[in-house]
Structure 1
Amino acid sequence: MPRPLRLLLIALASIAGGIVLVVLVELYLLLQPDRFTAMLKEQAHEAGLQLTLSSPASPTLFPRPALHLEGITLAASNPGPSAMPILLAANGRLVLPWNTIFGHEVVISRMQINSPRVDLDALQAWLMNLPPQSATVPEAIPRIATGVRIRNGSVVQNNSEWLSNVSLDTGRLAPGQAFWVSMSAKETDGRPLQWQFSSVPSIADGALKLDAIDIHVSDSSATTLHLAGQARWLGSADASMQLQGKFHLSGEGDYDAAVMLTPAAQGKPLLLHLKLLGADNHIDLELPPLALAQWWNQLANPQGPQLSTPPGSGQIDMARLDLGKVHIEGLSVQTDDAAPAAAESTAPPATTPVTPRPQ
Structure 2
Amino acid sequence: MRIGLLAVGALVVAVLLAAFVATYVMLQPERFTSLLQSRARAAGLELTLSNPASPTLWPKPALELEGLTVRASGAEQPLLVASRGKLVLPWHALMGGEARISRLEVEGARIDVDALGAYLDTLPSRPSTAGAILPTVDAGFRIERGTLLRGNELLLSNVDIDAGRLANGIPFALALAASTADGTPYSLELETLPQLSHGVLTLSDVELGLSSDSRFAAMLHGGATWRGGADVGASLSGRVTRNSGAPYGITLNITPANQQDPLYVALRLDGDNDRTDIRIPPIGFTEWWSGILAGGSPTLPPVLGSIEAKTLDIGSVHMKGLRIRATPQTPAAASTAAAP
TM-score normalized by structure 2? 0.71
> Which residue does the alignment assign to 2:55?
61
* % identity of equivalent residues: 29
Aligned residue in 2 for 1:200 = 193
2:337 is the counterpart of 1:351: no
Tell me which amino acid in the other structure corresponds to 2:65.
H
Counterpart of 1:161, as a letter, is L
- Per-residue CA deviation, residues 110-162 of structure 1 (Å, 9 max, x unaligned), is 11122234456776787799735388644673332xx3222112334696434
Is 1:72 the counterpart of 2:69? The answer is yes
Query: Does 2:127 match 1:133?
Result: yes
Change (3 A) 1:156 1:222: same
> RMSD over aligned Cα, in angstroms?
4.2
Question: Which residue is 1:41 aligned to?
Answer: 41
**Aligned equivalent of 1:110:** 103
The 3-state SS of whatever aligns with 2:102 is strand
CA apart distance, 1:213: 1.0
Alpha-carbon contact 1:320-1:331 (below 8 Å) kept: yes
Structure 1's unaligned 5+ residue stretches are: 1-13, 46-50, 298-306, 339-349
Match of 2:312 among 314, 321, 329: 321
User: Aligned ranges for residues 1-359 of structure 1 at < 5 Å?
Assistant: 24-25=24-25, 27-28=27-28, 31=31, 33-42=33-42, 44-45=43-44, 51-55=45-49, 58-63=52-57, 64-66=61-63, 68=65, 70-73=67-70, 87-97=80-90, 104=98, 107-118=100-111, 131=125, 133=127, 137-138=132-133, 141-144=136-139, 147-156=140-149, 160-171=153-164, 173-266=166-259, 268-289=261-282, 309-337=300-328, 351-354=331-334, 358-359=339-340
What one-letter code is carried by the residue in structure 2 that aligns with 1:53? L
Distance 1:70 1:317, change over 3 A: same
Total equivalences in the alignment: 312
Unaligned runs of 5+ in 2: 1-13, 291-297
d(CA) in 2 for partners of 1:236 and 1:103?
A: 40
Question: SS of 1:115's equivalent?
Answer: strand
Q: Following the alignment from structure 2 to structure 1, what is the Cα–Cα distance between the partners of residues 242 and 289?
A: 17
SS in 2 for 1:251: coil
State the distance in 2 between where 1:354 and 1:71 align.
Answer: 52
Helix, strand or coil: the match of 1:184?
strand
Q: Distance in 1 between matches of 2:68 and 2:186?
A: 28
Q: Is the 8 A contact 2:280 2:304 kept in 1?
A: yes
CA-CA distance at 1:22 after TM superposition: 8.5
Q: CA deviation at 1:31?
A: 1.1
